[in-house]
Amino acid sequence: MTRFSKRKPDTVMVKDRKLICPVCDNDQFIETRAQMNTAVASLFDVDFANKTARCFVCSECTYVFWFRS
């Protein structure tokens, strides 16, 4: 998780709406990309396996938003 700290947090727009953390109401997120591994793929469809996802990590509480890309 230490790699997240290298990026500066910023606001994120999704569908013309500002992303707000549901846990702490923060609007600053650190964008990262994650490879969907087999452990994660077991939670989703098979088509989801080995795809790349966009992730936004709340800079306050580290809640993670995942967006399939």
Q: For binding to Zn ion (CB under 5 A), which residues are involved?
A: 21, 23-24, 26, 58, 60-61, 63
**Phi–psi pair at 51, nearest 5 degrees:** -100, 165
Q: With respect to Zn ion, which residue has the nearer C-beta, 53 or 59?
A: 59
CA torsion 7→64→29→4, rounded to 10°? -10
Q: In the bound complex, what is the minimum distance in angstroms from residue 51's beta carbon to Zn ion?
A: 25
Residue number with CB closer to Zn ion (23 or 34): 23
> Least Å distance between CB 46 and Zn ion?
31
- The answer to whether 9 and 29 are in contact (CB under 8 A) is yes
